[in-house]
Amino acid sequence: MAALRDILFAFLFALGGFSILSALCPPGWKNWHQSCYAMYLERMSWADASEFCESKQSHLVVPNSQAENDFLWRMVVERFQTVQNRGFWIGCKRETVTSSFVCAGKTEGLGYINWEQGFPKQKALQCTVLTRDGNGTWRTADCMPNKERFVACEVPSSGMHCMTAGANGRFVNDLP
Protein backbone atom coordinates (compact mmCIF):
# COMPACT_ATOMS: atom_id res chain seq x y z
CA MET A 1 0.00 0.00 0.00
CA ALA A 2 2.86 2.38 0.83
CA ALA A 3 4.42 1.69 -2.58
CA LEU A 4 1.15 2.56 -4.33
CA ARG A 5 0.93 5.80 -2.35
CA ASP A 6 4.53 6.69 -3.28
CA ILE A 7 3.85 5.99 -6.97
CA LEU A 8 0.73 8.16 -6.90
CA PHE A 9 2.62 10.97 -5.16
CA ALA A 10 5.45 10.78 -7.74
CA PHE A 11 2.89 10.82 -10.55
CA LEU A 12 1.26 13.97 -9.19
CA PHE A 13 4.62 15.71 -8.94
CA ALA A 14 5.40 14.65 -12.52
CA LEU A 15 2.22 16.41 -13.69
CA GLY A 16 3.42 19.64 -12.07
CA GLY A 17 1.37 22.73 -11.35
CA PHE A 18 -0.95 21.11 -8.81
CA SER A 19 -2.00 22.52 -5.45
CA ILE A 20 -1.87 20.99 -1.99
CA LEU A 21 -3.08 22.16 1.37
CA SER A 22 -0.80 23.06 4.25
CA ALA A 23 -1.56 24.12 7.80
CA LEU A 24 1.52 26.37 7.75
CA CYS A 25 1.88 29.90 6.47
CA PRO A 26 1.81 30.53 2.73
CA PRO A 27 5.26 30.42 1.07
CA GLY A 28 7.34 33.49 1.90
CA TRP A 29 5.15 34.54 4.83
CA LYS A 30 6.47 34.70 8.41
CA ASN A 31 4.67 32.93 11.22
CA TRP A 32 4.30 34.63 14.59
CA HIS A 33 1.97 33.26 17.25
CA GLN A 34 -1.40 32.67 15.58
CA SER A 35 -0.84 34.69 12.39
CA CYS A 36 1.20 34.77 9.19
CA TYR A 37 2.65 38.04 7.88
CA ALA A 38 3.97 39.24 4.53
CA MET A 39 5.48 42.61 3.64
CA TYR A 40 5.62 43.84 0.09
CA LEU A 41 7.99 46.40 -1.45
CA GLU A 42 5.19 47.92 -3.51
CA ARG A 43 3.82 51.30 -2.48
CA MET A 44 0.04 51.62 -2.66
CA SER A 45 -2.77 53.77 -1.38
CA TRP A 46 -4.55 52.47 1.74
CA ALA A 47 -7.57 51.35 -0.32
CA ASP A 48 -5.37 49.57 -2.90
CA ALA A 49 -3.31 47.97 -0.13
CA SER A 50 -6.47 46.71 1.57
CA GLU A 51 -7.71 45.23 -1.73
CA PHE A 52 -4.28 43.73 -2.40
CA CYS A 53 -4.27 41.91 0.95
CA GLU A 54 -7.83 40.71 0.35
CA SER A 55 -6.68 39.26 -2.99
CA LYS A 56 -4.23 37.19 -0.93
CA GLN A 57 -7.10 36.01 1.34
CA SER A 58 -5.71 38.21 4.13
CA HIS A 59 -6.11 41.74 5.51
CA LEU A 60 -3.87 44.69 6.34
CA VAL A 61 -2.00 44.02 9.58
CA VAL A 62 -3.57 45.13 12.86
CA PRO A 63 -1.20 44.86 15.85
CA ASN A 64 -3.08 43.62 18.92
CA SER A 65 -0.24 43.88 21.48
CA GLN A 66 3.12 45.54 22.07
CA ALA A 67 4.81 42.19 21.37
CA GLU A 68 3.08 41.89 17.98
CA ASN A 69 3.86 45.53 17.17
CA ASP A 70 7.55 44.92 18.03
CA PHE A 71 7.58 41.82 15.80
CA LEU A 72 6.19 43.86 12.89
CA TRP A 73 8.66 46.69 13.47
CA ARG A 74 11.56 44.19 13.42
CA MET A 75 10.20 42.83 10.12
CA VAL A 76 10.16 46.36 8.71
CA VAL A 77 13.75 47.03 9.77
CA GLU A 78 14.90 43.68 8.36
CA ARG A 79 12.95 43.84 5.09
CA PHE A 80 13.49 47.51 4.25
CA GLN A 81 17.17 47.99 5.11
CA THR A 82 18.09 49.45 1.72
CA VAL A 83 14.80 51.14 0.88
CA GLN A 84 13.65 54.58 1.94
CA ASN A 85 10.64 53.66 4.01
CA ARG A 86 7.89 55.94 5.23
CA GLY A 87 6.17 53.07 7.00
CA PHE A 88 3.46 50.64 6.05
CA TRP A 89 -0.30 50.75 6.29
CA ILE A 90 -2.10 49.31 9.30
CA GLY A 91 -5.65 48.10 8.73
CA CYS A 92 -7.25 50.89 10.81
CA LYS A 93 -8.90 54.08 9.62
CA ARG A 94 -11.26 56.84 10.70
CA GLU A 95 -13.96 58.21 8.39
CA THR A 96 -14.77 61.51 10.17
CA VAL A 97 -13.16 63.76 12.79
CA THR A 98 -15.68 62.63 15.41
CA SER A 99 -15.69 58.91 14.56
CA SER A 100 -13.50 56.26 16.16
CA PHE A 101 -10.85 54.31 14.32
CA VAL A 102 -12.14 51.02 12.92
CA CYS A 103 -9.76 48.12 12.26
CA ALA A 104 -9.89 45.18 9.88
CA GLY A 105 -11.50 42.17 11.48
CA LYS A 106 -12.77 44.06 14.52
CA THR A 107 -16.25 45.23 15.38
CA GLU A 108 -15.09 47.84 17.91
CA GLY A 109 -12.32 50.42 18.12
CA LEU A 110 -8.58 49.95 18.35
CA GLY A 111 -7.96 48.13 21.64
CA TYR A 112 -4.12 48.17 21.62
CA ILE A 113 -2.60 51.47 20.43
CA ASN A 114 0.94 52.73 19.91
CA TRP A 115 0.51 56.34 18.76
CA GLU A 116 3.57 58.51 18.27
CA GLN A 117 3.43 61.67 20.39
CA GLY A 118 1.17 64.23 18.68
CA PHE A 119 -0.96 61.58 16.95
CA PRO A 120 -3.64 60.83 15.97
CA LYS A 121 -4.27 64.06 14.11
CA GLN A 122 -7.81 65.40 14.27
CA LYS A 123 -8.73 65.22 10.60
CA ALA A 124 -11.40 63.38 8.67
CA LEU A 125 -10.58 60.24 6.71
CA GLN A 126 -7.33 59.26 8.39
CA CYS A 127 -5.54 55.96 7.87
CA THR A 128 -2.88 54.47 10.14
CA VAL A 129 0.81 53.90 9.41
CA LEU A 130 3.39 51.96 11.45
CA THR A 131 6.65 53.86 11.03
CA ARG A 132 10.21 52.63 10.83
CA ASP A 133 11.80 55.90 11.90
CA GLY A 134 9.48 56.15 14.91
CA ASN A 135 10.62 52.76 16.25
CA GLY A 136 7.30 51.18 15.39
CA THR A 137 5.02 53.93 16.64
CA TRP A 138 1.88 54.78 14.72
CA ARG A 139 0.97 57.92 12.82
CA THR A 140 -2.10 58.99 10.94
CA ALA A 141 -1.84 59.75 7.24
CA ASP A 142 -4.23 60.92 4.56
CA CYS A 143 -6.04 58.04 2.88
CA MET A 144 -5.99 59.80 -0.48
CA PRO A 145 -5.12 57.68 -3.55
CA ASN A 146 -1.88 59.62 -4.13
CA LYS A 147 -0.60 58.86 -0.59
CA GLU A 148 1.27 55.59 -0.87
CA ARG A 149 2.98 53.38 1.69
CA PHE A 150 4.28 49.83 1.75
CA VAL A 151 1.93 46.92 2.34
CA ALA A 152 1.88 44.36 5.16
CA CYS A 153 -0.75 41.61 5.13
CA GLU A 154 -1.86 39.26 7.90
CA VAL A 155 -3.78 35.99 7.87
CA PRO A 156 -4.51 33.53 10.70
CA SER A 157 -2.02 30.65 10.65
CA SER A 158 -4.49 28.15 12.05
CA GLY A 159 -6.35 27.82 8.74
CA MET A 160 -5.42 25.86 5.68
CA HIS A 161 -3.69 27.65 2.81
CA CYS A 162 -3.45 26.52 -0.77
CA MET A 163 0.14 26.22 -1.99
CA THR A 164 0.80 25.78 -5.71
CA ALA A 165 3.68 23.66 -6.99
CA GLY A 166 5.35 24.51 -10.27
CA ALA A 167 6.33 22.05 -13.00
CA ASN A 168 9.61 21.39 -11.16
CA GLY A 169 7.72 20.23 -8.05
CA ARG A 170 8.76 23.25 -5.96
CA PHE A 171 6.21 25.46 -4.30
CA VAL A 172 5.54 28.77 -6.03
CA ASN A 173 6.39 31.77 -3.88
CA ASP A 174 4.29 34.91 -4.39
CA LEU A 175 6.77 37.23 -2.65
CA PRO A 176 9.68 38.96 -4.40
Backbone phi, then psi, for 128, in 5-degree steps?
Answer: -115, 140
CA distances to 22, 108, 117, 158, 173 from 163, rounded to whole Å, are 7, 33, 42, 15, 9
Interval 48-55 mean pLDDT:
97
- What domain count does the chain have? 1
Residue 135 banded pLDDT, cuts 50, 70, 90: confident
Q: Does 72 reside within a domain? A: yes
Q: Does 12 reside within a domain? A: no
Q: Which of 141, 140, 88, 150 is nearest to 117 (CA)?
A: 140
Q: Which of 49, 77, 78, 80 is nearest to 62 (CA)?
A: 49
Residue 35 banded pLDDT, cuts 50, 70, 90: very high
CATH number, domain containing residue 39: 3.10.100.10
Q: Does 38 reside within a domain? A: yes
Range of the domain at 55: 26-164
Q: Does 89 reside within a domain? A: yes
Are 163 and 67 within 8 A, CB to CB? no
Q: Is the pLDDT of residue 31 over 60?
A: yes
